[in-house]
Amino acid sequence: MTLNPTSTGTTKVSSGTSAEKFKHGEVRDFVIATLTIGLLVGGILITPNFPIIFGTLAQLFQELKKKKIPEAKVKRVLKNLEKKEIIYLERRGSEVYVHLKDWLQPKVIKYSLKSILSEKSSNKKWSGKWFLVFFDVPEKQRNKRDYFRSFLREIGFYQYQQSVYVFPYECEKEISLLKKIVEGGKYISYVIAEKIENEKEAKIYFGLN
């Protein structure tokens, strides 16, 4: 479905939003995270079973991120996600609903985990513990090893060693999900450490005191 300025039946966000600055991928990650609310509940995976009305996305973004966002920007993001076959749009009367096409796509999980871990980083006080992800991938499957490294960096982990990544907040459920949906997940291990050597750079990376 093609979105156009007159097809949603919703109220536009007020003008004067051009001064707002958005990080690269911020709106995209927010849309995906909104569609996957309830992804992890008590360690049980659940499939998102409800769409989001297009007109509510800008409102939610403003309420949660404290920024105003033009509907035109939301539309551009949705169009891009639709091209990538991550979402699909459905018209119901005067409203346009946004659905996830396949919530188990690695791209969807990546965007969702990135958002979840970012929220943990911004809302929690650090306990002093480190949460480590190890992976020991055979040399003949080096493409998987490179994929894991890229994936973990993109969702917010710090590379502590060649195949060891750290995060300062509990993330066992998130890593359990990662192990289930990525090929080669059996090579991933999760460890909790009271202290790591040479942690200064990691603390700087995460903005920890």
- Known binding positions: 136
pLDDT attached to residue 38: 54
pLDDT attached to residue 203: 95
- Known binding positions for Mg(2+): 136
Contact 190, 130 (CB under 8 A): no
Provide the token pair at 52: 């989001």
Q: Give the C-alpha distances (Å, rounded to integers) separating 62 from 56, 137, 197.
A: 10, 42, 41
pLDDT attached to residue 143: 87
**Domain coordinates of the chain in residue numbers?**
26-100, 120-206
Q: What is the DSSP string of 40-57?
A: EETTEE------EEHHHH
pLDDT in tens, 15-57: 344 446 787 778 887 787 777 765 544 444 445 556 778 878 8
CA atoms of 127 and 169, how far apart (whole Å): 8
Instruction: Name the CATH code of domain 26-100 (choices 3.40.640.10, 1.10.10.10, 1.20.81.30, 3.30.365.10).
Output: 1.10.10.10
Domain 120-206 fold is Alpha-Beta Plaits (3.30.70)
Rg (CA), the chain: 19
Q: Which residues 6+ apart lie within 8 Å of 21 measured at CB?
A: none
CA atoms of 32 and 195, how far apart (whole Å): 34
Residue 165 has pLDDT above 90, yes or no: yes
pTM as predicted: 0.67
With cut-offs at 50, 70 and 90, classify the pLDDT of residue 134. Answer: very high
pLDDT attached to residue 23: 79
Q: Which residues 6+ apart lie within 8 Å of 158 measured at CB?
A: 165, 166, 167, 201, 202, 205, 206
Residue 150 has pLDDT above 50, yes or no: yes
Q: Which residue has the higher pLDDT, 196 or 119?
A: 196
* Residue 44 phi, psi dihedral angles, 5° rounding: -100, 130
pLDDT in tens, 57-116: 878 887 877 888 888 888 898 999 889 888 888 888 888 888 888 777 777 778 778 878
Provide the token pair at 57: 């996305």
Q: Which residue has the higher pLDDT, 73 or 193?
A: 193
pLDDT attached to residue 19: 47
pLDDT attached to residue 12: 38
The mean of the pLDDT values for the chain is 80
Q: Which residue has the higher pLDDT, 199 or 115?
A: 199
Provide the token pair at 172: 């066992």
